[in-house]
C-alpha cells in the first residue's frame, strides 16, 4: 500500500506530539512540510539552516524512531532547507541528508557545534570562548543604588527573585517596562550584576536592541549567521534593552525568535526592557509577543514625592555631599516625571554652586530647575514653611517636632501645619510626618484651631497673612 508524504508525516506528528511538550511541538514540528517519499526516504522542508541544525541536535532520535515505525527499519530522512534571496523573493531550496552518511538513520549525527568551540563573538574580534564573554554591564547599576518605592516595588522584587534564581522562577522572561528615565536599564543591569556575583560560572550579557540588530546585519553581510546564533545560544542570562526598536525588523525578529526559544527551553534567563507593555508593542510578530507574555511584565511608574526625595538623598549620600532639606524638597517637587532629569538637576546645582562660588539655596535651585521644567510649581516644601514660621516667632525649628505643650511652640507648630495644608499638595499623613510623626487627625485639629483663631483675632490673622506673603514671595 502506497502512502503520500502528507499521510506519513501526519502519522509521524501524532507520535511526536505525544513525546514533546506543546510549546516545542508548535515551534519545531508544526512549521515542517512533507515534500516527497523516494526509496523509503522521507524528505521534509524546514524554514532555515538553523531549524535543520536544531532538529538534528535535539530531536534526531525521536525522528529516527518515528519514521522507522511508519516506513520500516530501512527508512531514511532528508531535509529540504529554504534559502531566501536578498530581496526575499523566489526562495531556493537546498537538500541535506539527516546526517553525513546519506540519510541512514542508524548512524550517529555529527553535530555542527559543541560547547566551547571557537566561534565569532559579535562584540569583539572573532575567536574567543564562552568564559571570556564580556557581560557589557555597568557596575554602578546595582540594587543598592536602586531606590525602592511604591512606583517600582513589584519590578524590583521580581528582579531580585530572578537574580537569586536565574532561569528557575516563573518570571522568565521578565519584561520591565516604563517611560524614559524611570530606571529600566538600571534595574535590568542590577539583576545581571547580582547574578555575576552569586553565580560566577554563568554567562551574563547585556545588549541593546540596536546593537543586536546591527550585529545581525553584519552577520548577514559577512555570511556568518550561524556564528551569530551560536554565540547567543551560549548565554545563560540575556538582557535585551528597548525591545520596542525591533518593530518591523522581520529578519531580526525571526533570528530572535529562534534564540529566544533555545534559551527558554534550556531554562536560561531572559530579561527584556521596553517603553510599553508587550500587549501594546506594534510591529512585533505575534509569535514573539506571545513569548514575551510567558513570564512577568512589571512596570516602573513615575516616582511619588517621597521616592523622589529618597533618590536625591541616595545620590547625595553616594557622592558624599549635603544640601539643605528645603532645596532637596524643592527639586523633588518640581521635577516629577524623570529620574534621570532629577539626578541631572542635582548635578547642575552642585556644578553651578562650585563654579560660581555660590551657596546652594532656594534661589539657586529655582534657576537650575527652570532649565528642566517649563513652569515651576508655586509650591514650597513643608520644611521651608516651618523655617519661615519659626523665624517669625523666634522659635527653634527642632522644637516643633517635640511633644512640648508650651503655648508659643504649639501655636507655631499648628500654624506651620495650617500653611503646609494650604500651600502644598502633601497629604495630611505626609505633613504629620514632618512634625515628629504626628497622625492626620492632629493635622486636622491644628488647622481647625488656627482657622478658629483667625476668625476671632484680627491681629493674629494679620500675622498669618504676613507670613503667607513671606513664603509666597520667596517662591
Residues 86-90, mean pLDDT to the nearest whole number: 42
Residues 343-362, mean pLDDT to the nearest whole number: 75
Q: Which three cell numbers stand for residue 89?
A: 523573493
Residue 73 has pLDDT above 60, yes or no: yes
- Contact indicator for 327, 361 with CB cutoff of 8 Å: yes
Residues 293, 309 within the same domain? no
**Of 82, 97, 112, the domain-final residue:** 97
Q: Which three cell numbers stand for residue 198?
A: 552569586
Q: What pLDDT, on the 0 to 100 scale, is given for residue 448?
A: 92
- Contact indicator for 177, 273 with CB cutoff of 8 Å: yes
Residues 388, 328 within the same domain? no
Q: What pLDDT, on the 0 to 100 scale, is given for residue 413?
A: 93
- Contact indicator for 209, 241 with CB cutoff of 8 Å: yes
Residues 362, 448 within the same domain? no
Residue 110 has pLDDT above 80, yes or no: no
Q: CA separation (Å) from 9 to 15, 26, 32, 467? A: 10, 15, 9, 87
Residues 361, 417 within the same domain? no
Q: What pLDDT, on the 0 to 100 scale, is given for residue 256?
A: 93
Please return the burial class of 172, using the count of CB atoms within 10 Å of its CB with bins 0-12, 13-18 and 19+.
Answer: buried
Asked whether residue 34 is domain-assigned, the answer is yes
Residues 296, 438 within the same domain? no
Q: What pLDDT, on the 0 to 100 scale, is given for residue 116?
A: 38
Query: How confident is the prediction for the chain on average, in pLDDT?
Result: 82
Residues 38-61, mean pLDDT to the nearest whole number: 80
Of 117 and 475, more confident: 475
**Of 300, 329, 344, the domain-final residue:** 300
Q: What pLDDT, on the 0 to 100 scale, is given for residue 329?
A: 82
Beta strand 237-241 pairing with 269-274: parallel
Residues 346-370, mean pLDDT to the nearest whole number: 75
Residue 240 has pLDDT above 80, yes or no: yes
Residues 28, 53 within the same domain? yes
Residues 86, 154 within the same domain? no
Percentage of the residues of the chain whose pLDDT score is greater than 90? 28
**Of 320, 336, 369, the domain-final residue:** 369
Residues 238, 322 within the same domain? no
Q: What pLDDT, on the 0 to 100 scale, is given for residue 379?
A: 58
Q: How far apart are CA 449 and CA 158, in angstroms?
A: 47
- Contact indicator for 281, 289 with CB cutoff of 8 Å: yes
- Report pLDDT digits (tens) over 363-379: 777 777 776 655 444 55
Residues 281, 315 within the same domain? no
Q: How far apart are CA 431 and CA 425, in angstroms?
A: 10
Residues 206-220, mean pLDDT to the nearest whole number: 90
- Report pLDDT digits (tens) over 124-172: 544 434 446 789 999 989 998 898 888 889 999 999 999 999 998 999 9
Closest CA to 141 of 231, 215, 206: 206
Q: CA separation (Å) from 215 to 232, 252, 259? A: 11, 10, 14
Cross-strand pairs, 204: 237
Residues 50-76, mean pLDDT to the nearest whole number: 82
Asked whether residue 274 is domain-assigned, the answer is yes
Count of structural domains, the chain: 4
Q: What pLDDT, on the 0 to 100 scale, is given for residue 132?
A: 63
Residue-range definition of the domain harbouring residue 356: 305-369
**What phi and psi, each to the nearest 5 degrees, are found at residue 77?**
-135, 140
- Report pLDDT digits (tens) over 305-336: 888 888 888 888 877 777 888 888 888 877 77
- Report pLDDT digits (tens) over 283-300: 999 989 999 988 999 999
Residues 160, 286 within the same domain? yes
Q: What pLDDT, on the 0 to 100 scale, is given for residue 114?
A: 35
Q: How far apart are CA 174 and CA 166, in angstroms?
A: 10
Asked whether residue 178 is domain-assigned, the answer is yes
CATH number (domain holding residue 65): 3.30.300.180
Residues 284, 422 within the same domain? no
Of 192 and 349, more confident: 192
Residues 144, 289 within the same domain? yes
Residue 206 has pLDDT above 90, yes or no: yes
Amino acid at each position: 500500500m502506497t502512502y503520500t508524504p502528507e499521510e506519513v508525516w501526519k502519522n509521524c506528528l501524532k507520535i511526536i506530539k505525544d513525546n514533546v511538550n506543546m510549546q516545542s511541538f508548535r515551534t519545531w514540528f508544526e512549521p515542517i512540510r512533507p515534500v516527497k517519499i523516494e526509496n523509503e526516504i522521507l524528505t521534509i522542508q524546514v524554514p532555515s539552516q538553523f531549524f535543520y541544525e536544531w532538529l538534528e541536535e535535539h530531536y534526531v532520535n525521536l525522528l529516527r524512531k518515528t519514521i522507522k515505525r511508519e516506513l520500516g527499519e530501512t527508512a531514511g530522512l532528508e531535509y529540504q532547507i529554504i534559502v531566501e534571496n536578498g530581496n526575499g523573493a523566489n526562495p531556493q531550496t537546498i537538500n541535506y541528508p539527516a546526517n553525513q552518511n546519506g540519510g541512514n538513520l542508524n548512524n550517529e549525527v555529527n553535530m555542527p557545534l559543541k560547547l566551547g568551540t571557537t566561534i565569532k563573538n559579535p562584540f569583539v574580534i572573532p575567536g574567543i570562548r564562552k568564559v571570556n564573554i564580556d557581560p557589557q554591564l555597568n557596575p554602578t547599576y546595582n540594587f543598592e543604588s536602586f531606590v525602592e518605592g511604591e512606583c517600582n516595588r513589584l519590578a524590583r522584587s521580581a528582579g531580585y527573585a530572578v537574580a537569586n534564581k536565574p532561569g528557575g522562577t516563573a518570571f522568565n522572561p521578565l519584561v520591565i517596562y516604563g517611560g524614559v528615565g524611570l530606571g529600566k536599564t538600571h534595574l535590568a543591569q542590577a539583576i545581571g550584576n547580582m547574578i555575576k556575583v552569586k553565580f560566577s560560572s554563568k554567562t551574563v550579557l547585556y545588549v541593546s536592541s540596536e546593537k543586536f540588530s546591527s550585529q545581525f546585519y553584519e552577520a548577514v553581510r559577512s555570511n556568518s549567521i550561524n556564528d551569530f546564533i551560536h554565540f547567543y545560544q551560549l548565554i545563560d542570562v540575556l538582557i535585551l534593552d528597548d525591545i520596542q526598536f525591533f518593530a518591523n525588523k522581520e529578519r531580526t525578529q525571526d533570528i530572535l525568535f529562534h534564540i529566544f526559544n533555545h534559551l527558554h527551553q534550556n531554562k536560561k534567563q531572559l530579561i527584556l526592557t521596553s517603553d510599553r507593555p508587550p500587549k501594546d508593542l506594534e510591529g512585533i510578530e505575534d509569535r514573539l509577543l506571545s513569548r514575551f507574555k510567558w513570564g512577568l511584565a512589571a512596570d516602573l511608574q513615575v516616582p511619588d514625592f517621597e521616592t523622589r526625595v529618597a533618590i536625591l538623598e541616595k545620590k547625595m549620600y553616594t557622592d558624599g555631599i549635603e544640601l539643605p532639606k528645603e532645596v532637596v524638597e524643592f527639586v523633588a517637587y518640581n521635577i516629577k516625571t524623570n529620574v534621570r532629569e532629577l539626578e541631572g538637576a542635582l548635578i547642575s546645582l552642585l556644578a553651578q554652586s562650585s563654579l560660581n562660588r555660590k551657596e546652594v539655596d532656594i534661589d539657586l535651585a529655582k534657576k537650575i530647575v527652570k532649565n528642566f521644567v517649563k513652569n515651576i510649581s508655586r509650591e514650597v516644601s513643608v520644611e521651608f514653611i516651618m523655617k519661615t514660621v519659626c523665624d517669625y516667632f523666634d522659635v527653634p525649628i527642632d522644637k516643633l517636632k517635640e511633644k512640648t505643650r508650651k503655648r508659643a511652640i504649639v501655636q507655631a507648630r499648628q500654624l506651620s501645619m495650617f500653611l503646609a495644608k494650604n500651600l502644598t499638595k502633601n497629604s495630611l499623613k505626609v505633613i504629620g510626618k514632618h512634625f515628629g510623626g504626628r497622625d492626620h487627625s492632629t493635622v486636622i485639629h491644628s488647622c481647625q484651631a488656627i482657622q478658629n483663631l483667625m476668625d476671632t483675632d484680627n491681629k493674629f490673622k494679620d500675622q498669618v497673612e504676613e507670613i503667607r506673603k513671606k513664603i509666597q514671595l520667596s517662591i
